[in-house]
Structure 1
Amino acid sequence: MSEPIIQLAELKLTSEAKSYLRETAKWAFFLSIIGFIGIALMIIFALFASSIFGSLPQYQNLPFNMGKIIAIIYLVIAAIYLFPVYYLMQFANKMKAALSLKEDAILTESFEMLKSHYKFIGVFTIIILSLYALVFVVAMLGLLAS
């Protein structure tokens, strides 16, 4: 008959670990601000892409509107990019609050946001690598067929 293992010790944060987390939160906040600025620039570019590409002579004779296609692509990229940047900002804000208020619940929430950030980045990386592999296989099949 096996009995469940009960862990009696708690994980404690040393002052050095708290210092590292505080610095990490500052950098995460900085990177999230840069990320939001990048998203804003992508949206601004998307709004003007139709005008920009519509005025270029090499894109005027195409059977489709290149500006609208580029605008849609930029808006989709901005929307995808919004999630990890938001999670990173939430991590930074919650970590700063947890360290200043010494609240375990807020610390847990901050690590949940960090987990969400990295989970999103990981899943997105798997999707992109899968698309690269698919493009590679299709390109090889195209070369073999010709």
Structure 2
Amino acid sequence: MMETNSPFEQFEELRIDRISKEFLAETAKWATFLAILGFIGIALMVVAALFMLVLGASASSSASFAPLGGGAFLSIFYFIVAGFYFVPINYLYKFGSNMKNALRTNNQASLTTSFEYIKSHYKFIGILTIVMIGFYILMILWVMFTSIGSLM
């Protein structure tokens, strides 16, 4: 019986050369920088949500047309967006910090962990993109059907 080998088995002993390490080190620096900016953006979203919540509560009255009063609805929306934004930013930060650690200490476990985090980052972004495309399609269909319904 003939033995068949996967073409990917040749990568079991894949080595990272000096140039690849330089590329990975620079990528880790940029990933960390972008993650820190992302955390700052999340903090600003949370502060804005709190500001809208407090300002909306003080400005709302019993005659307010907003169902949750003042800025509460928009505040909750900002909190939810900040929560969704935190997940990929945290993965990106963990990728950068683990990659820097792996390259500094020549640690295979940290290298593998960093690649796991970048995979999770892109997987989350990919799934979120698919969900958003589905949402946009549903919104377009809803607008089309309500437009057709209003014409009849």
Cross-structure match for 1:122 = 126
Distance 1:66 1:24, change over 3 A: same
Shift of 1:133: 0.3
Cross-structure match for 1:97 = 101
Cross-structure match for 2:28 = 25
Distance 1:56 1:12, change over 3 A: same
TM-score by length of 2: 0.87
Percent identical residues? 42
Shift of 1:67: 0.6
Counterpart code for 1:48 = F
Cross-structure match for 1:3 = 3
Q: Distance in 2 between matches of 1:94 and 1:63?
A: 46
TM-score by length of 1: 0.90
Superposition RMSD in Å: 1.8
Counterpart code for 2:46 = I
Q: Contact conserved, 2:59 with 2:70, CA < 8 A, in 1?
A: no
Cross-structure match for 1:16 = 19
Q: Distance in 2 between matches of 1:68 and 1:135?
A: 24
SS at match of 1:132: helix
1:8-87 map, 5 Å = 10-53=13-56, 61-64=64-67, 65-87=69-91
- The alignment covers a number of residue pairs equal to 144
Distance 1:63 1:101, change over 3 A: closer
Q: Distance in 1 between matches of 2:145 and 2:124?
A: 32
Shift of 1:13: 1.0
Deviations 1:97-116 (A, max 9, x none): 10011111110110000000
Shift of 1:52: 3.1
Q: Distance in 2 between matches of 1:55 and 1:2?
A: 78
